[in-house]
Every structure is written in structure tokens, then in C-alpha cells.
Amino acid sequence: MLVVAASSRLALADGPSKAECIDAYTSGQQLKKKGQLRAAHDRLLVCSRDPCPTGLQADCSEWLGEVQRIQPSIVVVARDESGRELTDVRVIVDGVLATSRLDGRSIAVDPGERQLRFETSGHEPVTQRTLIREGEKAREVQVRFVRGESGAPIAGASEARSGDAPAPNETARWPVWLTGGVTVAALGTFAGFGLAGVSQRSDLIATCNHRCSTDDKDSVDRKFLVADVALGVALIAGAATVVLLLLNGSSSSSTSSAAAP
């Protein structure tokens, strides 16, 4: 028992599995195309290292380099009403905490129109909407805080606010949207890589048949492998979506019955 547990921990420490490598490969590419560069960076980092297959590593490393080149970042300079520079500042980007303290380093953000919110104790929060451009590095963002009327600390973004709490139905629906999105993305990946593999295999049969190079054959096999894994992910995510829909429907009915007089 102890030997099995130890070997399992060693396997996990060795790095991602082949399925995880392929998932990171496909999702990283899709996130990059959507402009979600921070998430794409994290996924491509997974498939760009061992023990992922060499072919996937090469593509992921190339895409990771492209993401790093175009990833925008901001440097926040915050001051109070007297002009004193502040460091105990929370930076929230599109509702997600980016950092809880300023340390002079840049903060990676996705390109596009972003909502920036800045909070510090004893002052009114500051909100800005700004357009972030690809490749814009260390863009300085100036923030001026004004002391709150009561002088009391301002609640952080992670603390509950009466006006910001999501409706129960909205909270229950987001897992369905997530699994549904994964299903659609995985099916698209299956179709794309499957068709690409069939097309490339037909070309090889027409040009070199059994005399094709190992690299050409490996390229076809890799496309079919990605397509197979994507189909498996789509089936699992699709089944999860159906289960969540059924559970949400049951939960909504129970809530309505309980609310009835």
C-alpha cells in the first residue's frame, strides 16, 4: 500500500499525463486565439515541458513565446489625497483579484477593454475602464484615492457586498456554461484535427505511400491522437452538462416549491 502511494506521488511529481498535455495543447491554442493570454500562458506552460510528447512541446513552446511577446502589462502607481504613494492596494481586473499589494512589478492583463478597480483601507475605491493593447508592456496607471466619508476601511472585493451577490440561478448555471463550452470546443478540436489528419494521410499516400518519412507519419498520428482525446473530452463534458442541467432543473423546482406560500 505504501509503495503504491509513494509511486503515485512520484508519477504526479514527474509532470502532466499525456491526456493533460493534449488538453493543455488544445485549450492553450484556443485561449490564445480568443485573446485570453494569461490563461493561455498557463496552459501552454504545461505542454511545453517534459514529459509531454516532443511534437506538442515544440508547438507549445512556439505559441508560449508568441504569447509572452504580445502579453500586455500595467504598473500601478497609487497615491492618497496628500500625494503619498501607497502600496497596500488591491488591484481587481474584471472582477478578479490580480494582486493584493503593490510591489513595483508589472501586472499581466489581457488585451481589450478592461475594468480596473483599486481598493485600499480607509479610502473610497477607484474604478477605471481602459483599453489595453497587445504588446503594451509596463503601461503606467495612475490612481488617486480620496478618503471615505466615515474614514472606515473599504470592504475588499472578496468580501460579501449586498448589491454584488449573484442571483442563485446565475450561480447554479455557470458550471453548465463551463461544461457546455468545453464540449463545443472539444468537438471543434476533434473535427479540426481529425479532418487535418485524414487530409494529410491522403496526401502522403498519393505522394510517397510506404516510403514516407517517419516525421511525416508521426505528424499524422499526432493529429489523430489529439482528435481522439478531444472526442473523449467532448463525450465526458457533454455527459456532465446533461447531468448538471437535470440537477439544476430539479433544484429550481425545489426552490419554487419552498418559496410558495
The larger pLDDT score, comparing residue 196 to residue 189, is at: 189
The larger pLDDT score, comparing residue 5 to residue 63, is at: 63
Residue 83, pLDDT above cutoff 50: yes
Give the chain's mean pLDDT: 81
Answer whether 192's CB lies under 8 Å from 253's CB: no
Instruction: Work out the number of other CB atoms within 10 angstroms of the CB of residue 204.
Output: 18
pLDDT digits (tens, 9 = 90+) for 221-230: 887 888 788 7
Residue 123, pLDDT above cutoff 80: yes
In a domain, 259, yes or no: no
Q: CA distances (Å), 20 to each of 31, 45, 54, 80, in order? A: 16, 12, 14, 46
Verify that 20 and 85 share a domain, yes or no: no
Mean pLDDT of the region 194-209:
72
Verify that 193 and 177 share a domain, yes or no: yes
In a domain, 245, yes or no: yes
Mean pLDDT of the region 52-74:
95
Residue 3, pLDDT above cutoff 50: no
Nearest to 71, CA basis, from 131, 124, 130, 134: 134
pLDDT at residue number 150? 52
List the domain range (segments joined by +) for residue 97.
73-144
Lowest mean pLDDT: which of 32-36, 134-138, 154-158? 154-158
Percent over 70 (pLDDT), the chain: 77
pLDDT at residue number 171? 55
Model confidence at 43, pLDDT cuts 50, 70, 90, reads very high
End residue of a domain, out of 30, 53, 70: 70
Nearest to 25, CA basis, from 59, 2, 68: 59
pLDDT at residue number 177? 74
Which helix (H) or strand (E) segment holds residue 203: the answer is: helix 168-207
In a domain, 5, yes or no: no
pLDDT at residue number 103? 97
Model confidence at 204, pLDDT cuts 50, 70, 90, reads low
Residue 151, pLDDT above cutoff 80: no
Structural domains in the chain (count): 3
Q: How many CA atoms lie within 13 A of 71 on its CB side?
A: 21
Nearest to 106, CA basis, from 132, 130, 141, 134: 141
Q: CA distances (Å), 12 to each of 42, 55, 119, 222, in order? A: 18, 22, 39, 24
End residue of a domain, out of 43, 70, 97: 70
Verify that 105 and 64 share a domain, yes or no: no
Question: Does a cis peptide bond (omega within 30 degrees of 0) precede residue 125?
Answer: no
pLDDT at residue number 81? 94
pLDDT at residue number 6? 37
Residue 135, pLDDT above cutoff 50: yes
Percent over 90 (pLDDT), the chain: 49
Helix (H, G, I), strand (E, B) or coil at 104: coil
